[in-house]
Amino acid sequence: MNDDRRRGQVSAFTTNVHSLLGELDEAVASGTCALEIAARRDDSRLRILTTTYLQQTHYFRGDYQRVAELASANLAVLPADWTNEFFGNTAPASVFDRTWLVLSLAELGRLPRRPSTTPTHSGSRRLCITQTP
């Protein structure tokens, strides 16, 4: 196939398939290939899609810090008018990125873990989210 655009798309989707099959090293390899093509073509859409699939791969590997980095970076470069773009995926990238980010931050212990109730000055109770160390 002598078409970088298509080869990039195939590599991105292959990243997802390998990841779902538990072939995580292969997923990283195909994702890296897709990102190289995206950089060479200056293709933001391919880069965003591929990065979303790599978040999934790194989450399955247990590399939650890397997921948080990838998701944060992807959300930072996502143009506001692309918030609802699917990029060929089953849901918008903004939704997947936020999902992987929250799941990873929870695994890293960087989200509140439990709600607790505390009395207010009037004696009624209110819900408070407590931070964990």
pLDDT tens-digit readout, 78-129 = 999 999 999 989 999 999 999 999 999 999 999 876 665 555 555 555 555 5
Q: Looking at residue 74, what is its pLDDT? A: 96
- pLDDT grade for 2, boundaries at 50, 70 and 90: confident
The CATH classification of domain 4-130, taken from the options 3.30.420.40, 3.40.50.10490, 3.30.750.24, 1.25.40.10: 1.25.40.10
pLDDT digits (tens, 9 = 90+) for 30-80: 999 999 999 999 999 999 999 999 999 999 999 999 999 999 999 999 999
Q: Looking at residue 60, what is its pLDDT? A: 98
Q: Looking at residue 5, what is its pLDDT? A: 93
Do residues 52 and 91 lie in contact, with contact meaning Cβ atoms separated by under 8 Å?
A: no
Query: For residue 85, what are the contacts with CB-CB under 8 A and spacing of at least 6?
Result: 45, 92, 93, 94
pTM: 0.81
Asked if pLDDT for residue 26 goes beyond 60, the answer is yes
Do residues 34 and 12 lie in contact, with contact meaning Cβ atoms separated by under 8 Å?
A: yes
